[in-house]
């Protein structure tokens, strides 16, 4: 690989790693002059990467979102994570099977041999232990349409297949201020303010048929709970059967955690790479152990009984390991 090409790849990797880069710091990391950085940025722009110059005392650069998807760079761990995620992408969302397979083939084709062997060894078959009871799938276009209305804060109109209504009964479209998408027990739900009933409602996404166009923008209302996860947990009486309930923030995607959290779990997306998880159990120690089964960093939110049980469990495990 030529020196210029290698430097361009290094520059692109740096720009993808953080939002803003001062020009002088980029030059220092690449061990080149600021003038060379400017020329390399122009080369990336010619290749379709939307690199924008930022203002400031030193000036800098930012990699923005563009109209087209340019080639992406992944480190080894990211490439394997993408490949595994694509293999399990159809667990709860339908309509993306062909795209996921084509994406997996594209990622695998450009992988170096050392990574391709690891991915081939990770042929994942998702077996849904709740398939015969609760877990349902939703159409990807439907999920995206609802998610866009949530982000845009636009009134959502949709037909809703209520299980209480007969097939002959005509139901008018629902008009809702969509607040949040959440998964619970293997299903997707929309939490929103029903404009006709003037109250908060929870809708199963697999029963919704969104209509276009969406309605006017709205100012978000305050939930009758500290957060969405707490609100959902109150809506399902099964949670009250367990004497202990705890909450933690997990540094993992909500869609990944939802696959393995179980029927009674509440999973709420916090950021693209973190989620809030609420679990219930018969004992605080057992609950702390259940949180620990997810192989990611986590922070216990509460209550204090859960934190104390986690500390006690850590002492027991440390003693057992030594």
The predicted structure's pLDDT at residue 134: 47
> In angstroms, rounded to a whole number, what is the distance separating the alpha carbons of residues 295 and 251?
9
Pairing of strands 187-194, 174-184: antiparallel
The architecture (CATH level 2) of 228-321 comes to 2-Layer Sandwich (3.30)
More confident residue, 36 or 122: 36
Q: Which secondary structure element, helix H or strand E, spans residue 93, and what is its range?
A: strand 93-94
The predicted structure's pLDDT at residue 16: 72
Inter-helix orientation angle 97-109/76-87, to 10°: 150
More confident residue, 216 or 141: 216
pTM above 0.85, yes or no: no
More confident residue, 264 or 218: 218
Please answer whether residues 160 and 146 qualify as being in contact, where contact means their C-beta atoms are separated by less than 8 angstroms.
Answer: no
More confident residue, 311 or 241: 311
Neighbours of 230 (CB within 10 A): 17
| Residues written for the chain | 322
Domain ranges for the chain, please list them: 3-63, 76-120, 138-211, 228-321
The predicted structure's pLDDT at residue 193: 93
Q: Give yes or no for residue 152 having a pLDDT over 70.
A: yes
pLDDT (tens digit per residue) in 277-307: 888 888 888 889 989 888 888 999 888 999 9
pLDDT (tens digit per residue) in 40-85: 888 888 877 788 888 766 678 888 765 455 566 666 777 777 776 6
Q: Which fold has domain 3-63?
A: Arc Repressor Mutant, subunit A (1.10.10)
Please answer whether residues 223 and 231 qualify as being in contact, where contact means their C-beta atoms are separated by less than 8 angstroms.
Answer: yes
Q: Give yes or no for residue 94 having a pLDDT over 50.
A: yes
């Amino acid at each position: 690989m030529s020196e210029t090409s290698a430097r361009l790849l290094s520059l692109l990797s740096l720009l993808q790693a953080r939002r803003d880069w001062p020009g002088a710091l980029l030059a220092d990391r690449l061990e080149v002059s600021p003038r060379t950085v400017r020329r390399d940025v122009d080369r990336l722009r010619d290749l379709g990467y939307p690199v924008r110059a930022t203002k400031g005392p030193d000036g800098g650069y930012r990699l923005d979102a563009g109209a087209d998807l340019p080639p992406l760079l992944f480190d080894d761990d990211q490439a394997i994570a993408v490949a595994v995620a694509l293999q399990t992408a159809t667990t709860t969302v339908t309509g993306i099977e062909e795209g996921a397979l084509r994406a997996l083939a594209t990622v695998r084709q450009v992988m170096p041999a050392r990574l391709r062997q690891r991915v081939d060894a990770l042929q994942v078959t998702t077996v849904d232990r709740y398939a015969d009871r609760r877990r349902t799938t939703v159409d990807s276009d439907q999920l995206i349409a609802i998610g866009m209305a949530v982000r845009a804060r636009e009134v959502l109109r949709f037909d809703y297949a209520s299980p209480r209504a007969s097939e002959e009964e005509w139901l008018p479209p629902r008009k809702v201020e969509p607040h949040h998408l959440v998964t619970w027990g293997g299903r997707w739900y929309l939490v929103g303010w029903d404009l006709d009933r003037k109250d908060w409602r929870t809708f199963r996404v697999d029963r919704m048929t969104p209509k276009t166009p969406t309605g006017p923008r709205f100012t978000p209302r305050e939930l009758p709970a500290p957060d969405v996860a707490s609100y959902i947990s109150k809506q399902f009486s099964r949670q009250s059967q367990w004497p202990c309930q705890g909450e933690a923030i997990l540094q993992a995607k909500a869609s990944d955690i939802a696959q393995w959290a179980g029927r009674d779990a509440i999973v709420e997306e916090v950021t693209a790479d973190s989620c809030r998880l609420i679990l219930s159990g018969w004992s605080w120690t057992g609950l702390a152990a259940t949180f620990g089964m997810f192989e990611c960093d986590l922070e216990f939110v509460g209550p204090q009984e859960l934190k104390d049980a986690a500390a006690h469990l850590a002492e027991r495990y440390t003693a057992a390991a030594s």
